[in-house]
Amino acid sequence: QVQLVESGGGSVQAGGSLRLSCTGSGSTYSTNCMAWFRQAPRKEREGIAGIDTRDGSTAYADSVKGRFTIAQDNAKNAVYLQMNSLKPEDTAMYYCAADRGCRYWWRLSDYNFAYWGQGTQVTVSS
């Protein structure tokens, strides 16, 4: 089993930055891709960034491209999301996800990821 724990959320003013962390435990050696999703109130969950931990390739949603960066630290079983130039519309609960098969991970669709964290709240004020 794989357990994922997110941290680093909080409140920030528009234009500011936050860095989210996701630490895995359990059978994390068998996961090959990780991603960040977010869900705002009354909106569908959105995949925003993903990484193939085997070769480091990344994928981003258009909504965050150029502002957010996903990175990995395999030694720590961790994935990070650096969020810059934050906007009020970035306000959401942010979730870390992982999967083993990772066949279509770059599509950033939630049904492609089997393991999920509990989420961390990000609030951006104008």
Phi, psi of 28 (to 5 degrees): -70, -20
Q: Residue 40: in which H helix or E strand, if any?
A: none
Residue 19, CA distances (Å) to 7, 38, 114, 126 in order: 9, 14, 24, 19
Give the integer Cα–Cα distance in Å for 56 and 106.
12
Query: Would you state the structure tokens that stand for residue 31, as one six-digit string?
Result: 């996961």
Give the pLDDT band of residue 30 (cuts 50, 70, 90): confident
**Total residues found in the chain within this entry:** 126
Phi, psi of 76 (to 5 degrees): -105, 5
In this predicted model, what pLDDT tens digit does every residue of 49-83 receive, in sequence order?
999 999 999 999 999 999 999 999 988 889 999 99
Query: Would you state the structure tokens that stand for residue 103, as one six-digit string?
Result: 């066949």
Average pLDDT over every residue of 96-114: 93
Residue 29 pLDDT > 80: no
Residue with the two structure tokens 């989210």? 20
